[in-house]
Amino acid sequence: MGHVDPRPIGVFDSGVGGLTVLRALRARFPSEPMVYLGDTARVPYGTKSAEVVTRYSLRNAAFLVAQDVKLLVVACNTASSVALPALRASLGIPVLGVIEPGARAAARASRSGTVGVIGTPGTIASGAYQRALASERPGLRLHVEACPLFVPLAEEGWVQGDVPRLVAHAYLGPMRQAGIDTLVLGCTHYPLLREVLAEELGPDVTLVDSAEATADEVGQLLDRGVVGRAVAGPGALRVVVTDLPDRMPELSARFLGERLERAEHVDIEAG
Amino acid sequence: MGHVDPRPIGVFDSGVGGLTVLRALRARFPSEPMVYLGDTARVPYGTKSAEVVTRYSLRNAAFLVAQDVKLLVVACNTASSVALPALRASLGIPVLGVIEPGARAAARASRSGTVGVIGTPGTIASGAYQRALASERPGLRLHVEACPLFVPLAEEGWVQGDVPRLVAHAYLGPMRQAGIDTLVLGCTHYPLLREVLAEELGPDVTLVDSAEATADEVGQLLDRGVVGRAVAGPGALRVVVTDLPDRMPELSARFLGERLERAEHVDIEAG
């Protein structure tokens, strides 16, 4: 069952999208204290280069390590796809991204062996999901698509109606034609568009949410004692952002499912 | 007619949108050398706080001043709306934003006295256009709308068809009903959506492009000798970005109207 470790789990993301991962972790591990850092001063990462995303990720991780976290969850798909090697090389704690858990869940879920992956331009260009899926289940047929408009649609709350429907049709039409039976939602924002995506793809396509798959793997690390568990009692939550905590009530309600009246603000640039 | 000053005009923007301003300046002043800095490592500014945008703007300006520019044009509406006082206080050269020229042009253009302004959430929330228009022409009736989806639509090339049309209808429908006869395009990306906007508003509404208005005011500074003119001969152009010069050929073709095969890359964060 592992040892007791009262230190928090650290989670970072480029902005507020990772709150969907935090939500899955909080639902599964209510006793664990957690610290979330959203780099809202530099959001989005998905359209930026691997070099820049790695630099920002190392700085986010350094902030969380300074909060004495016992495990680092990289909630951002773009950061997970390019920065994990650098993070693992430089940190003395376990580091878990969202790509490998999502790829493993999709490889298990597909019956036909034809899988789709959608993500930001940065995630898709990195090839990280493609490599993880090929390694989990050689011979899978993959269809990938960068969907840059889904993030602003989700952030602005355009998750129903003709606009997201037409955009989803443009992005997903070809992979639906190709006969995928499983789609990896390779960006933390995409679960908010789940209804529109399901409508476009039909009831026979399984949608894999990396947030849920990542929570599963955190559970395995706790079960195996790789990371100690906190003692019982509701785990404290700290949410820290690098810019504009004013929008947090609205965005946290949408992404976290709890309305946070305020978030802490830190400037990590000089750190 | 003013003195000769061979130094370049400096232009900065949060990313590539300001290339529409650079385009207007190049068309009007082909002899002037120009240096453009796009802060693509931190784009967009429009959804970030005034404090963060001011910090980024001061750093961009410092880079351009180090290139010995004779005039600073802030091509980004968001930066123009919040950072001009800080820039003017700290720089020893003339600084021109895009808000005041756009507001002046709109105040002159409107016959009915009912004017619309669209921009990013940061620009609209700053109230900068509202103040500038009220000061240019007291008694104007204003209708403002933040249009956060227009930037990603323009950057991704979704500038025609049902999606931008439906989004434009949602954003502009109320101000069309209110009877505006002039609309300020208060974001450098919006000229790319000009056709869709014109279609939504009809032929009787004048669209004011701040890029053109800003080029007019640069011309006045040169005519009045506030800033010296370069000698004849094609002015050299340098385009510098803080991230991802790989996408420059495509984006420069779309925003600048010339395909730049490569841009210089600088990391100004430590500077």
Which tens digits make up the pLDDT trace of A154-196? 989 999 999 999 999 999 999 999 999 999 999 999 999 999 9
- Which one, of A33, A12, A24, lies nearest residue A229 by Cα? A33
Annotated catalytic residue, options A187, A201, A205, A240: A187
pLDDT at B223 over 70: yes
Residue B5 phi/psi, 5° resolution? -145, 105
> What's the rounded Cα separation, in Å, for the pair B202 and A135?
55
Among chain A residues, CA nearest to B146:
A156
Are A244 and B163 a contacting pair at CB < 8 A?
Answer: no
Q: Please state, as a whole number, how many other Cβ atoms lie within 10 Å of the Cβ of residue A144.
A: 19
Place of tokens 């899988």: A115
Domain residue extents for chain B: 9-97+213-265, 99-210
Are B244 and A162 a contacting pair at CB < 8 A?
Answer: no
Work out the pLDDT band at A1, boundaries 50, 70, 90: low
Are B94 and B227 within 8 A, CB to CB?
A: yes
Within 3-62 of B, beta carbons closer than 8 Å to A belong to: 40-43, 47-49, 51-52
Mean pLDDT, residues A232-237: 88
Indicate yes or no: pTM above 0.95.
no
Q: Please state, as a whole number, how many other Cβ atoms lie within 10 Å of the Cβ of residue B121.
A: 18
Are A12 and A72 within 8 A, CB to CB?
A: yes
Are A5 and A230 within 8 A, CB to CB?
A: yes
pLDDT at B271 over 50: no
What pLDDT is stored for residue A150 in this prediction?
Answer: 96
Helices (H), chain B: 19-28, 50-66, 77-90, 99-109, 121-126, 128-136, 150-155, 162-177, 194-201, 210-223, 248-255
What pLDDT is stored for residue B262 in this prediction?
Answer: 80
Mean pLDDT, residues B213-221: 97
Fold match between domain B9-97+213-265 and domain B99-210: yes
What pLDDT is stored for residue A2 in this prediction?
Answer: 65
pLDDT digits (tens, 9 = 90+) for B50-69: 999 999 999 999 999 999 99
Just give the CATH number of B9-97+213-265: 3.40.50.1860
pLDDT digits (tens, 9 = 90+) for A69-115: 999 999 999 999 999 999 999 999 999 999 999 999 999 999 999 99
What pLDDT is stored for residue B109 in this prediction?
Answer: 97
Chain B touched by A182 (CB under 8 Å):
no
Class of domain B99-210: alpha beta
pLDDT at A270 over 60: no
What pLDDT is stored for residue B170 in this prediction?
Answer: 97
Eight-state DSSP code of residue B4: B
Range of weakest confidence among A23-27, B85-89, B256-260: B256-260
Nearest to B42 among A42, A153, A155 (CB): A42
Which CA distances in Å does A260 have to A238, A257, B111? Answer: 10, 9, 47
Eight-state DSSP code of residue A190: G
pLDDT digits (tens, 9 = 90+) for B142-201: 999 999 999 999 989 999 999 999 999 999 999 999 999 999 999 999 999 999 999 999
| A9, β-bridge pairs | A34, A71
Nearest to B149 among A49, A152, A243 (CB): A152
What pLDDT is stored for residue A269 in this prediction?
Answer: 76
Eight-state DSSP code of residue B111: S
Are B133 and B107 within 8 A, CB to CB?
A: yes
What pLDDT is stored for residue B2 in this prediction?
Answer: 65
Work out the pLDDT band at A244, boundaries 50, 70, 90: confident
Q: Give the active site residues of B.
A: 76, 187
Instruction: Work out the burial of residue A85: count CB atoms within 10 Å of its CB; fewer than 13 is exposed, 13-18 middle, 19 or more buried.
Output: exposed
Interface test with A, best of B126, B153, B166, B268 (most A CBs within 10 A): B166
Answer yes or no: A76 catalytic: yes
